[in-house]
Structure 1
Amino acid sequence: MRIDKYISETGVYPRREASRLIAAGRITINGAVIGAGATVEPGDTVAVDGTILSPDRGDRVYLALNKPAGITCTAAPQVEGNVVDFVGYKSRIFAVGRLDKQSEGLLLMTNDGAIVNRIMRSEHGHEKEYHVTVDKPVTDDFLQEMSEGVEILDTRTKPCFTRRISDKEFAIILTQGLNLQIRRMCKALGYRVLRLERVRIMHLTLEGLAQGQWRHLTGDELAELHRRLEEQPGEV
């Protein structure tokens, strides 16, 4: 198994953080510092800064958080207002994907690094729904252009679903997550985002969750999450 996947499946670090640790020379296999592309064989001892990682993940945690604006989606303790400190959970967790600091709404938090890429990667097609308030009336042309794809970040966004909610508010369902995607799409079409709220990730919603509150996923929600993730091919 590739080292970055092995680390993420311990549930201690998500795969992106594992890659950073590897690049920094902080990962060893059987006492030897390794680089990207290394593999783990049965019986190998993997350690981060000398602390052995076990593939036994113990109790896994899955939380739904209604993130308020002003909270930053990072686990870095030096960042004031980081989401991990905001939640204050008793054990280490991290956010699946990001909402920028000024955005709000549904955020999934976990200690299960194995699910991060399976949820967030565009090719898996998992829906994320947002409600967006902008600075001027939402027109039919605007909604059509957004749904057909917009040129941002030297690429064209994937086709998506849009609908008008009110004069200056619309809903958009994405299956990709480019950096500040919705804000950049709106800006490219001459609109400015005033409020952005994620209301759904796959089958998970904000229903019954007040802003700033979090809760554990229910048994039914968790079973459906794993069912959907098991339907797609694993990563190598």
Structure 2
Amino acid sequence: MNTFVARGDRVELDGEEVRAQRLAYVLLHKPRGTVTTARDPQGRPTVVELVDLPERVVPVGRLDADTTGALLLTNDGPLAHQLAHPRYGVEKVYAADVEGRPNETALRQLASGIELDDGVTAPAHVRRLAPSRLELTLHEGRNRQVRRMCEAIGHPVVHLHRTRYAGLTVEGLEPGRWRELEPSEVDVLRSRPERPPGRSGPAPD
């Protein structure tokens, strides 16, 4: 049976008052070798262990163990659900060091959509940062998507770093370090509109 609690009600468990947990919003510079879970059965270090807060925060979305960069953690369930929902098209920007030197045809393939085993990827914005380094801006979040896209064009990823998530960057944060978001940053995340469908293409070199 569900029990509904109204504002101002006092809730107790075994005679002790249960207080609402403060909402916390954390931006972490995820280091390589950490897994994006609360616990790991293999005993690997997790991103949750890096955040020293009394509130229990969990990651929004995932980065694989070898990927570094911007990762948001929070205990705000509704906001986490909103950011993860495809209709909001949260922007994720990656810098990918790849094998070889992708040509313009390869960049156009990445931008227009790549056929993967779970369907064609949505249009992405792609630009070259260096001969073997690409910047990809995505608005969807499939499992290991950037790695699979680059492998599909014959240029596997050597190192992957997420430089930006929902407008948040890890500039000034060393790997493994974190900071709490400013109230204004949280307000921006909460007010994100739904993203209309659109197409992107490769930027000029």
- Could you say which TM-score interval applies, normalised by the shorter chain? 0.7 to 0.9
Could you say which residue in structure 2 is the equivalent of 1:143? 107
| Residue 41 of structure 1, CA deviation | 7.4
Could you say which residue in structure 2 is the equivalent of 1:85? 49
Could you say which residue in structure 2 is the equivalent of 1:76? 39
Deviations 1:87-133 (A, max 9, x none): 23332110000000000000001111111221122221111111100
Gap regions ≥5 residues in structure 2: 7-12, 195-205
Could you say which residue in structure 2 is the equivalent of 1:16? none
Could you say which residue in structure 2 is the equivalent of 1:124? 88
Cα distance in 2, alignment partners of residues 86 and 213 from structure 1: 8
Greater length-normalized contact order (CA 8 Å, ≥ 6 residues apart) = 2
The alignment covers a number of residue pairs equal to: 184
TM-score, normalisation: structure 2: 0.82
| Residue 165 of structure 1, CA deviation | 0.2
SS at match of 1:207: coil
| Residue 57 of structure 1, CA deviation | 4.3
Cα distance in 1, alignment partners of residues 188 and 72 from structure 2: 14
Cα distance in 1, alignment partners of residues 73 and 118 from structure 2: 31
Cα distance in 1, alignment partners of residues 38 and 24 from structure 2: 16
Q: Which of these residues, 60, 85, 110, is aligned with residue 23 of structure 2?
A: 60
SS at match of 2:53: coil
SS at match of 1:170: strand
Gap regions ≥5 residues in structure 1: 1-29, 31-39, 45-49
Cα distance in 1, alignment partners of residues 72 and 148 from structure 2: 23
Cα distance in 2, alignment partners of residues 97 and 136 from structure 1: 29
Which structure 2 residues correspond to residues 105-116 of structure 1 after superposition, within 5 A?
105-116=69-80
- Identity %, equivalent residues: 34
Kept after mapping to 1: 8 A contact 2:70/2:170? yes
Could you say which residue in structure 2 is the equivalent of 1:94? 58
| Residue 206 of structure 1, CA deviation | 1.5
SS at match of 1:184: helix
TM-score, normalisation: structure 1: 0.72
User: Higher helix share goes to which structure?
Assistant: 1
1:176 aligns to 2:143 (yes or no): no
